[in-house]
A and B are shown apart, each in its own frame.
Chain A
């Protein structure tokens, strides 16, 4: 509960933050992309989903059976 309050607060604070478009150069760098290595992620997620009981956040992707 305390955690979710903190996160909510974070967003409220964020709403006030002003980062003009010309000041987002750091955020635009390739290694700051939300998913900087999509090919790595795709391969590893298939590994995780065939070895773990919960494919956290990656449901319904329509991959193979992975039933080994």
Chain B
């Protein structure tokens, strides 16, 4: 944008001289790495020993004006980490005529985002971003008037009786009556029926390249988004051109997204007519796939589940203009056209179609009404135009910025939407900025939206299957009851608080309360209150904007000048442990009062292959025996775990570091049928058909808080004690909606459910190109059992590693790791209370898998770790490092029967300030 041109610009050119030796050294470092062992005896900082290389570099650098000052260096420019949580509430829940329905858990979305931008040279920037979110909880899947809903025990469903016309409506007004009995009572109240979906985790990667000219910019971007039911790839191109002395900028962008939907609808429901999407000539389709589950209560690898599959494409084109109006005002406006085509339906939403038969004998006093629950049907194409305008006004007396946004959009589905948003960004001094926000949104309904559809005609009978619909003879072409397409308004208020620490680090906290309601629709006539919802959205993020410019000195660190002949080990005290392998926690301690460290740690681990009994592959009969008399139908065939952790560390004194480590986890498990396996229902839950192909869970995990205490330090070695406390912030209430809403097994819960004490003792040493370390630690559960009725086993572990610095900026590591985890004590609770003859109440949990057996957890393990680490480009002086490690299991001796571990990968990015 033109407005940013007044920002301080790139470093002065004269710096090239100071920079020159460093460039040579970097080039040489890369050369040495490529050269491998043969060059090992050459100190990394010596002059190039390759005469042609030296000549070439000197020649290249001598060409004045050939390249900008730092054209050859890659530098990290910024990095960001963010945790977000979305919690829904304010939805109406109908407990049924006798109050027997249970309110399901509200919708919850947990998000983790990490990103970084790199300056490739003065003009080119590379941006990388990773995002993960996991959502779980209840969503409305069909809407019906009370009179069409059948309640049996704790279940409610639309009375779609294929053999008979179940519904009854008034002969004149078509108002629904009660389902059964006399007298006829009008029951038109509209009700959402809810379904709890299993948790779903999405991973998204994006990358972008931006090139800046003096008066223009061009960017390309691409990304992929992957979740079990939806996979998409997107590419984009954007440009900007400044003119009129940079008072005016024109911008434009083009984007293309291709997506594949593969929604799991579960085992076929007898209440749903799937006919529209079974064997269609083209477009989205519902297919049947077989997998592990129960058929008539018996385990089968041929359990049929339905998948709703299709492709969609989105194209968007945008053009905009930004104008500096005064020294305090800019305005920008733009027009966007987008076209979506293909599978535009929401695959999980059903629509109630009712056919009130006018041929019903008048003596009955109502129209007999056939009720059908069908998938929604939307047009295959949607064209949308959006116009937006943004005003940014600087308010000098307050040093504040007012941002006003308005957007109007219109599409050929009949949705007209308007958005008005305002922000007041108020700096308060001392690095604080507080920004209240407000947003109002209103939209009209799509012209094919209704809460449910009722027609005054006999239903179009499928000629080959009476009781099903003939979709070629429907009275309307499209139908949807998805409340996103209804007429409503939404009002939200929020607050963004930012605090700038030092020069580089900014904390950002955002909160918004969102309320959606038909009553808030502009001009009235919005959808009924059954569709109301509200949500709280909270996020906390850290943004690092590095001022690495050659003259920049971050955090007061000494300039580690390349010419001074130092080896990387010349300042070992400051960075001892900072180069520890990626999988080691608490290895590095800061010894400068006021120091601050932030690290991003990611871990991925995988179990697949054989199921071990002790340390050898087990037979299915042995695995089954571990489930006891209750038996179990399946055993895990593959399990993965992802973890994303933010590690914050602050040194109030030189001998004490305080730490806080929030994290997000995501787990996934696939099952196979156990030979001879069987299922024993407990209490009232006897689901004859069940999909047991796998489970997912994810969200915020436990948070560790703690301290590191320096016990010993010399120039080349140090010892520190870590005292950590794991706070049970992770949910242990993760459930299986497809399995009577029972708790997921122990390994799929997000936390331990107990407070855990985590002491560690770490030793670090160094000599010349070598650094090494060792750590012993444990996880001791304090108290228990947790609310689910069990306690995870304690864990003891020891590890030792060695690093070799091949170059100043690059090191390789080798590590050994051994640990012993105790078995689980106690037992997961079930949902059904069972009273025995003596009157004792217990909550037994039906076993769907051998992973539900407490004895099948823990064991003794030995891993070998292979890793490397490198200094973050542009942040060498601060000691920032990115490390990667692969942990290869070499010895496994499991308690009971468990899936073999096939390895773990760890990534860490440590930033010091």
Contacts and interface: CB of A to CB of B under 8 A. Distances in A.
Q: Do these two chains really belong together in a complex?
A: yes
Interface of A: 7, 10-11, 13-15, 17, 19-29, 31-34, 36-37, 39-40, 42-44, 46-48, 50-54, 56-57, 59-65, 67-68
Given A27-B324, A68-B139, 14 more contacts: A14-B325, A19-B327, A27-B394, A34-B1, A39-B80, A43-B82, A54-B443, A56-B407, A56-B409, A56-B419, A59-B338, A60-B315, A62-B234, A62-B255
B129 to A, nearest CB: 9
B390 A34 contact: yes
A52 B394 contact: no
B394 A32 contact: yes
A9 B94 CA distance: 55
A23 B327 CA distance: 6
Given A53-B443, A59-B384, A43 B111 contact: yes
B484 A19 contact: no
B336 A57 contact: yes
Contacts of A56: 386, 388, 407-409, 417, 419, 441
A19 B245 CA distance: 9
Contacts of A47: 86, 514, 535, 537
Interface of B: 1, 3-7, 80, 82, 84, 86, 107, 111, 113, 133, 135, 139, 197, 202, 204, 223, 225, 227, 229-230, 232-234, 236, 244-248, 255-257, 259, 261, 263, 314-316, 318, 321-328, 330-334, 336, 338, 340, 346-348, 384, 386, 388-390, 392, 394, 396, 400-401, 403, 407-409, 411, 413, 415, 417, 419, 423, 425, 427, 433, 435, 441, 443, 446, 484-486, 490, 496, 498, 508, 510, 512, 514, 516, 533, 535, 537, 539, 541, 543
12 contacts: A14-B324, A24-B324, A24-B327, A31-B401, A34-B1, A37-B508, A43-B539, A52-B417, A56-B386, A59-B314, A60-B314, A67-B346
B326 A19 contact: yes
A34 B417 contact: no
B3 A34 contact: yes
A55 B435 CA distance: 23
A64 B228 CA distance: 11
Nearest to A60: B316
B722 to A, nearest CB: 31
A62 B327 contact: no
Nearest to A67: B346
A19 B514 CA distance: 39
Contact of B7 (A14, A19, A28, A62): A28
A32 B3 contact: yes
Contacts of A17: 247, 324-326
Contact of A64 (B202, B244, B400, B498): B202
Contact of B417 (A14, A54, A61): A54
A60 B541 CA distance: 26
Contacts of A48: 441, 490
B327 A15 contact: no
Contacts of B400: 31
A63 B230 CA distance: 10
Given A43-B111, A54-B415, A21 B246 contact: yes
A65 B203 CA distance: 12
Contacts of A54: 384, 386, 409, 411, 415, 417, 443
A11 B332 CA distance: 10
Contacts of A24: 3, 5-6, 324, 327
Contacts of B330: 27, 32, 34
Contacts of A63: 204, 225, 232
Contacts of B259: 62, 65
Contacts of A67: 229-230, 263, 346-348
Given A34-B3, A43-B539, A68-B135, A26 B328 contact: yes
B512 A44 contact: yes
Contacts of B409: 54, 56-57
B227 A65 contact: yes
From DSSP, what is the main secondary structure of chain A's interface residues?
A: loop
A50 B7 CA distance: 37
Contacts of A29: 394, 401
B800 to A, nearest CB: 39
Contacts of A59: 255, 314, 316, 336, 338, 340, 384, 386
A60 B446 CA distance: 20
Contacts of B225: 62-64
A47 B390 CA distance: 21
Contact of B327 (A26, A42, A46, A53): A26
A46 B535 CA distance: 13
Given A17-B324, A24-B327, A40-B508, A34 B204 contact: no
Contacts of B346: 67
A50 B340 CA distance: 16
Contacts of B388: 56-57
The 10 closest A-B pairs by CB, nearest first: A62-B234, A60-B316, A59-B338, A65-B230, A60-B255, A54-B417, A31-B425, A28-B6, A24-B6, A56-B407
A43 B6 contact: no
A33 B263 CA distance: 40
A46 to B, nearest CB: 8
A55 to B, nearest CB: 8
A11 B830 CA distance: 68
A17 B340 CA distance: 41
Contacts of B197: 68
A32 B197 CA distance: 42
Nearest to B1: A34
Contacts of A28: 3-7
B338 A37 contact: no
Contacts of A60: 234, 236, 255-257, 314-316, 338
Contact of B255 (A31, A37, A51, A61): A61
Contacts of A34: 1, 3, 322, 330, 332, 390, 392
B162 to A, nearest CB: 27
A22 B510 CA distance: 33
B419 A31 contact: no
B324 A62 contact: no
Nearest to A56: B407
Given A14-B325, A43-B84, A64 B107 contact: no
A36 B425 contact: yes
A68 B324 contact: no
Contact of B323 (A14, A39, A62, A68): A14
B632 to A, nearest CB: 31
A51 B5 contact: no
A21 B5 contact: yes
Interface hub of A39, A46, A54 (most chain B Cβ within 10 A)? A54
Contacts of B484: 50-53
